[in-house]
Amino acid sequence: MTTDRQVVLITGARKGIGRFLAERFARNGALVEGCSRESPDWSLEGYTHHLTDVADESQVKAMMTSIARRHSRLDIVINNAGVAAMNHSLLTPAASLDRIFDTNVRGTFLVCREAARLMQRRRFGRIVNLSTIAVPLRLEGEALYAASKSAVETLTRILAREFGPLGITVNAVGPTPIETDLIRGVPSDKIQKIVDNLAIRRLGRFEDVANVIDFFVRPESEYVTGQVIYLGGVS
């Protein structure tokens, strides 16, 4: 049965930005599907959680099949699931490479591909991927994280061209550091150094990310695709 409500999928929805966005979309009347590898310790009306590792093809397919069977549509995808590691390259084990690229690149690609298969049925879709200002700032100690997000940006630009004729836009937002688990292990002086180099010198907020996402997903943004918007005045 097809619902009249917008259906939104947010990966990495258990905590941080993902949870914030899930609550925001649900509050605005959307049916929200979220996923993560572990169960959330919260619940929300209009929200369904999937225990899905985005790097696992069969799990991603199963999640999409579940969404298709229950809603027959998918309007918006926010590829928020991501892992980071801050370390000098000389001290970085290969296991970190696999872990970061599995979630950030493989996961983003699999979710984009399976989402687009569902979205193309209605010739409408909005995909927003999460990048980072670590890409344009070329931050030391974030080689693998930034490289993985560079790949996400390239995916964004090329998928935008491939999915464009199907009515699906693909864009990315690159946040500055935000107080989340992702930067919890990063020394405060390092964070301050990054903030000092921004045009707008403060940490990012969830609302800043949501604002860009709102712009990308609105129906009027059908002519905006393949774009990466960085926060904080980074270019």
Partner 1 sequence: MSTLFTIDRDAVVALITGSLRDLYEQNGIAAGDEPGEDTYLIGRRALLDSLGLVTLIVDLEQKIEETFDVALTLANERAMSQKNSPFLTVGSLADYICALLNEQRHA
Would you name the residues annotated as active-site residues? 145
- Beta strands at 7-11 and 76-79: parallel, antiparallel or unpaired: parallel
- 47's enclosing H/E stretch is strand 47-51
Instruction: Kindly state the smallest distance separating residue 167's Cβ from partner 1, in Å.
Output: 11
Minimum distance, C-beta of residue 65 to partner 1, in the bound complex (Å): 7
- Amino acid at position 232, single letter: G
As a whole number of angstroms, the distance between CA 1 and CA 72 comes to 6
Do the Cβ atoms of 133 and 232 come closer than 8 Å?
yes
For 201, the enclosing helix (H) or strand (E) is none
- In 3D, which of 70, 72, 60, 74 has the Cα closest to residue 7? 74
Closest to 135 measured CA to CA, from 123, 124, 125, 143: 143
Burial-class residue 187 by CB neighbours within 10 Å (0-12, 13-18, 19+): exposed
Binding residues for partner 1, rule: CB under 8 A, are 61, 65, 68, 117, 120-121, 123, 165-166
